[in-house]
Amino acid sequence: MAIMASKIGAPFLQSSLEPLRAAAKKLAEGHLSEGLDALSRQRLEAGYQKGIEATMRTLRVPRDLVERALPTADVHSVLDEVDRCQKTARSSVGQFVGSLGSLVPGGTGLNDPASQRLRAVADKYALDEHIAKPVGALSESVARWEELVDHAHAQLSADAAIRAVVLRRRLVWAGIVLALVVVVGCSAGVGVWHHVVVTGAQQRISSITSQTDPCAGEQVDQGDLEHALPDQISRLEQMKGACAKHREREAYLARCAALAEHVTAGKLTGEDKAAAGSAYGLLERVAQGSLTPKDLTVGGDVMPCDGTPSQERLWKAYTDSATGSVALWGKVETLSPHVASLLTSKGVVLSDRARETLLFRVEAETKRAITKGLESELARARRLCGLVDQLGYPKEPWCKALGRIDSKK
């Protein structure tokens, strides 16, 4: 039974440890930046999900049975901690890599896990808290993830429900072999074979086609498929099409998530063009903090990834870029209704310097317009004073004066 338990958990453990081993290898080779990149939340979670799928495929058990055996409640909290620490370490250490050479000490063992290799880096630079503190925090969070994977492997290996399914399948096949041996040459053997093999195959297919997961059809054994009923084959074809759409949607969500991550981090890649579409240029300027006055006249339909959580993150990055740009507010004259609603929403304010730049410019141009008395310049001054009103800031003296002049007309 111990041998069977170790085989039950082996596919999960091997796949879940892949990103950790890749990170440890990069760190052992002295590639700290690549090692930190390999410890991203996306890669660790992908390895964990790959472990679940490998278990489903190897043991031919449904996803819900595997997930019930795992500490699912702890996964996201530990990954959130790793994600936060990884980003902090990546940002803090990145600026020193070029000047310090290899940050990874060479004294660690060849088989040391990623957390110990990170701890060695933190210990080496213990006197420099800019390196030691974030790398040490990442080492601790990665160690917790390594412990969680080991714990998940242990729970999966010991799960009674999964072991019962595997044992029952082995007994069924043992019974099939025994039955075929006993009834060789006997006409009654045909009936036994049909009941054990054909009926068993059809029952297993029915169990799979009743699942809500559209990709569960991939679990059907090729041997079972040879005995499938026509309606089962039709259902499996439907599930295959639904699975393709599901994975296409998942890929779309992943592209949008990567796009939002890159925009927030301040640098897009060539791979982001597919997800960004026609908004690529706008998002490049958002990432670089170089929005133009025309960019503040866009509508709410300009942002890609509609209907995904990533679209909200992209608008947040857009708002942060707009409110933080000092040069931009030395040129802006009009806002679209959508942008105005973003910039006046709760918690959104221009930076102090951006606000001062806008108000100083509006007052100076309004003063000049009133002094000259030219209608074209007065009209422009009204737009600028209206912009201040639109953003919710109190009117300055010259805008008040323009209002008094207009009220007398």
Q: Does residue 379 sit in helix, strand or coil? A: helix
- Among 200-209, 228-237, 263-272, which range has the highest average pLDDT? 263-272
Closest among 331, 336, 343, 327 to 392, alpha carbons compared: 343
Give 121 or 98, the one with higher predicted confidence: 121
CA dihedral angle for residue 358, residue 359, residue 364, residue 367, rounded to 10 degrees:
130
Give 339 or 96, the one with higher predicted confidence: 339
CA 76/CA 270 separation, integer angstroms: 30
What are the start-end ranges of the H helices in 111-229?
114-124, 129-158, 160-182, 188-193, 200-209, 222-225
Averaged pLDDT of the chain: 85
CA 394/CA 34 separation, integer angstroms: 51
CA 104/CA 114 separation, integer angstroms: 11
pLDDT score, position 182: 46
Domain boundaries, given as residue ranges, for the chain = 2-163, 350-409
Q: How confident is the model at residue 188 (pLDDT cuts 50, 70, 90)?
A: very low
CA 234/CA 78 separation, integer angstroms: 42
CA 401/CA 48 separation, integer angstroms: 66
375, pLDDT greater than 50: yes
CA 143/CA 115 separation, integer angstroms: 5
Structure tokens at 133: 């503190």
